Amino acid sequence: MNWKLDPSVTYLNHGAFGACTKEIIEEQRRWQDRLESSPLRFIMREIDEQLYQSRHTLSRFVEADSSGLVFVPNATHGVNTVLKSYDFNKGDEVLITNHIYPACRNTLSYIQENRGIRINEVNIPLEGIHPEKIISSVIEAITPATRLVMLDHITSPTAIIFPVTEIVKELNYRGIDSLIDGAHAPGSIPLSINAIKPTYYTGNCHKWMCTPKSCGFLWVNEESRSRIVPLAISHAWGKEVSFEKRFHWQGTADWSAALTLPFTIQFIEKQLPGGWSEWMKCNHQMVVDAREVISNSLKINTLCDASMLASMAVIPISAKPSAIRLGYNSIDLIQEQLYKQYNIEAPLFQWGESPQLLLRISAQQYNFVQQYSYLAESLQSILRIV
């Protein structure tokens, strides 16, 4: 495989935006060339069948009913679609945890301001975290006002696999809707939406599935499809139109990432003898080994059992957070030092009210253990650890 990453940079942040191989990018460009060679023919006469095939390929990969599966640009887009469509009443409660992805927390704050909902945020400490604690914390926080429980399948700031199947089972029994943000799940862990049985599930294909950017999906169960509205109403809108058709056209867009998806799934399946299963197991083992290397080097205890990790892990850093502005966002000073002084891309997040600084590492097939040793040595230098 020929990854398109800059070889001068030690890239340990696949979880942020993913990465593609040369072969996958070339496939995307073939679709873009096909579009630009005859835009009207491709969009009006050809794209429907091609997107249908991509959607069905994806539905088999994530094990979900294809009639409830639609493409969206990313998981944040999927979360916004559900929350802005939901028929909230004033005083309704949305239950979340403190491990929520910040952008999705912002969306909830917007809904709170405009619809008068309440946000019930459950604090689940990271130290000593385990599945039973997550389950009990969420279930015990349910109140008579709880309409929707919104959970990350794999948390972004803390890299923990949440036991969503067990939680959703209890929610379904109680008649409470669930929205699962699976941004990091597809291609990182085996995924069966049919087994989870959520009300809503959204995920990214451009992270751990390695498709080109702007390829996500939203799945909605049959009972709820009639109330979910695309963020952009366009030509395909109509009550008599099926759920998937309403989402098919939301204005002119570059669909090449979604059209590349079948090729990407098949391409990665062929890279290792065990296919996707071996691919995910290798990434998991690498991040477990990497966490041990860094934790031992910095003399830091690990935070959770390895079974709660997918292809990412976080390690607490003994330093005070110091954010600096970078474009529309902020970035920790140590993260910027790692990049500018050592050519390492690895994110650091502020966690909790303390606050605590967390280093998040990712493991993909282009990574190797020596890179994490280099990261540990660089951190020792920055933090002046002897």
Domain locations in the chain?
Answer: 23-266, 274-383
Q: Are 378 and 341 in contact (CB under 8 A)?
A: yes
Nearest alpha-carbon partner for 28 in 364, 365, 263, 271: 263
Q: Which two tokens stand for residue 123?
A: 């604090």
C-alpha 44/C-alpha 179 separation (Å) is 34
Give the list of residues 6+ apart from residue 227 with CB closer than 8 angstroms, or none: 85, 86, 87
Q: Are 280 and 253 in contact (CB under 8 A)?
A: no
Task: Quickly tell me which residue has 């970078």 as its tokens.
Answer: 326
**Global pTM value:** 0.96
Tell me the H-state helices in the chain.
Answer: 14-17, 22-37, 39-40, 47-61, 75-85, 102-115, 131-140, 164-174, 193-196, 243-248, 256-269, 275-298, 333-342, 369-383
Burial class (CB in 10 A: 0-12, 13-18, 19+), 158: buried
Please give the full DSSP string across 172-230, using - where no structure is assigned. HHHT-EEEEEETT-BTTB---HHHH--SEEEEESSSTT-PPSS-EEEEE-GGGGGG---
Per-run averaged pLDDT (10 residues), the chain, 386 residues: 94 97 98 96 92 97 97 97 96 97 96 96 94 98 98 97 98 98 98 98 98 98 95 79 85 94 98 98 98 95 95 91 71 92 95 85 97 97 78
Task: Quickly tell me which residue has 């249908």 as its tokens.
Answer: 52
C-alpha 88/C-alpha 369 separation (Å) is 48
User: 41-58 b/e with 16+ CB inside 10 Å = b?
Assistant: ebeeeebeebbeebbebb
Give the list of residues 6+ apart from residue 270 with CB closer than 8 angstroms, or none: none
Burial class (CB in 10 A: 0-12, 13-18, 19+), 113: exposed
| pLDDT for position 239 | 65
Residue type, 173: Y
Chain mean position to CA 335:
21
Q: What is the CATH number of domain 274-383?
A: 3.90.1150.10
C-alpha 371/C-alpha 180 separation (Å) is 33
| pLDDT for position 386 | 43
| pLDDT for position 276 | 98
Give the list of residues 6+ apart from residue 209 with CB closer than 8 angstroms, or none: 18, 61, 186, 187, 215, 261, 264, 265, 268
| pLDDT for position 342 | 97
Choices 2.40.110.10, 3.20.20.70, 3.40.640.10, 3.40.50.720: CATH for 23-266: 3.40.640.10
